[in-house]
Amino acid sequence: MSVLRDSKTISAADTAVTIKGWVQDIRNLGGISFVIIRDRYGTIQVTMPKKKIAPELFEGLTTLSRESVVSITGDVKTSDQTELGVEIIPSSFELYSNAAVPLPMGVIDKVNVEMDTRLNNRFMDLRKPEIRAIFELKSLMLELLNEAMTSNGFLQVFTPKVVASGAEGGSTLFKLDYFGRPAYLAQSPQLYKQMLMSTGLDRIYEVGPAFRAEHSNTNRHVTEFISFDGEMSWISSQSDVMSMIEKIIDHILNGLKEKGKKQLAVLGKDVNVPSVPYPVLTYSECLKMLSSAGMELKDGDDLGTEGEKLIGDIMAAKGQEMYWIAEYPELEKPFYIMEKDGTPYSFSFDLDYKGQEISSGGQREHRYDKLVERMKKKGLDPESFDFYTDAFKYGMPPHGGWGIGLERLLVKMLDLPNIREAILFPRDLSRLSP
Ligand code: ATP
Ligand code: MG
């Protein structure tokens, strides 16, 4: 009797086995042929000395098309020629699925394939171990994130993704027809997670899709991304939120470095874990730093992509990859952020990683009158947000929170060139399929 084995568990102690996978490669060297079978964990070599294998079996296996899916049964032999230290001498095989020829793109060929071709054939692209490794790390990231949140007393919640109003500005809202009424895809769980602070749940988080009708075609914007949001009550200042984020990211990065060793090795990457606490720069300090580097911005200006990058370079020269930019001008920030009274600034922060924003957050305005005032100041009609403002009318604790773009964190950690590398099926200005 043969036992089912994959490339992770097969060993010289096995005698008769069945393996299942994709035909990655076939090499015919005259008297001997090899079929390389790939499964989730790696590859196994099937070795066929022509004289020792039944002719139909030899013929059947050596004429398979690349990427066909098969099951092969045979004897395990030790081998010093293979990475696993074993090879299989086949006695039978079954063809589950015959791959058409030619393939839309290669799996092992060392040619550079355009990103568009790769994304158009993502099922094929994902057969490459170094592409799958990114998503194994993303999954591990979620596991670590959940650990960190649970151990800090956060409750996981789910808020609606079809909503009546946006929180992050009208220009990136996707409009829907909701049974004849206008509705939108949620840009963030902002309003809902704040409403939950009035319930006594105190600490909540959500990991879910966020939708932005981004008209810019960049390597860090997509129209659907995974947002990791948290909100916590009873804070004394935004620093409480910043310390919490530091704890969480530190747990995630350390965990990935430790538990993601195998995937990181496949990618040829190492994770550098920045030490906590991360340095805090204020927006005003950033303006000065940029000015010294030759970039003049007026107080109140957006730092912009170029400004963020330049700050990233200056901080990198000081050995800092992760840092806060705090106290942005209140004019730059959404209505729900608390103003720093008597100044044009606000209790807000961004977390930047290697010159790019990965998170925004801050202390929220929890005082009903001030909130309504701020909405009006931003040109919003508080009445159309009454489902939200009501939660502030009847008792709301001081609170703050954040939104982290999960893919941005992963991409920056791995120094990947494009956010699309960290999304299985990305959505952007031009891409709606697959
Ligand atoms: P940016 O200025 O980089 O466009 P933002 O300030 O508009 O980002 P926020 O509204 O602060 O974004 O959203 C919180 C986080 O969500 C961001 O820090 C980022 O990590 C992520 N994020 C926002 N928009 C996108 C997007 N279009 N694609 C991927 N991630 C995004
Ligand atoms: Mg932001």
pTM: 0.96
pLDDT value at residue 304? 96
The two structure tokens encoding residue 373 = 């005032």
The single-letter code of the amino acid at 289 is M
The two structure tokens encoding residue 57 = 């079996």
At 266-293, the pLDDT tens digits run: 999 999 999 999 999 999 999 999 999 9
**Segment (H or E) for 78:** strand 69-78
Residue 408 known to be catalytic = yes
Compute the Cα dihedral for 128, 134, 135, 139 and give only its sign.
positive
Are 242 and 349 a contacting pair, CB within 8 Å?
yes
Of 166-170, 285-289, 325-329, 363-367, the poorest mean pLDDT is in 166-170
Q: Give the bridge partners for 43, in sequence order.
A: 38
pLDDT value at residue 130? 96
Measured from the alpha carbon of residue 302, the closest ligand is 1
At 364-377, the pLDDT tens digits run: 999 999 999 999 99
CA–CA distance, 32 with 24 (Å, rounded to integer): 17
pLDDT(264) > 80: yes
Regarding beta strands 16-28 and 3-4, do their DSSP bridges make them parallel or antiparallel, or are they unpaired? Answer: parallel
pLDDT value at residue 30? 86
Mean pLDDT, range 291-296, rounded to an integer: 97
Mean pLDDT, range 29-43, rounded to an integer: 95
Positions of E strands within 102-202: 155-156, 162-163, 175-178, 181-185
At 333-366, the pLDDT tens digits run: 999 999 999 999 999 999 999 999 999 999 999 9
What is the number of residues in the chain? 434
pLDDT value at residue 170? 80
Nearest to 88 by CA among 98, 100, 74: 74
CA–CA distance, 78 with 86 (Å, rounded to integer): 4
What is the CA(231)–ligand 1 centre distance, in A? Answer: 17
Q: With bands split at pLDDT 50, 70 and 90, how would you rate the model's confidence at 61?
A: very high
Measured from the alpha carbon of residue 357, the closest ligand is 1
- CB count within 10 Å of CB 284 equals 16
Domains annotated on the chain, with CATH: 3-97 (2.40.50.140), 123-422 (3.30.930.10)
Q: For residue 364, give the DSSP letter.
A: B
The two structure tokens encoding residue 422 = 């960290």
In the block, tokens 């996981």 appear at 156
CB-facing half-sphere around the CA of 169: CA atoms within 13 A: 9
Annotated active-site residue in 5, 127, 212, 374? 212
Residue 194, ligand 1, Cβ within 6 A: no
pLDDT(169) > 80: no
The two structure tokens encoding residue 206 = 């959500």
Mean pLDDT, range 410-431, rounded to an integer: 98
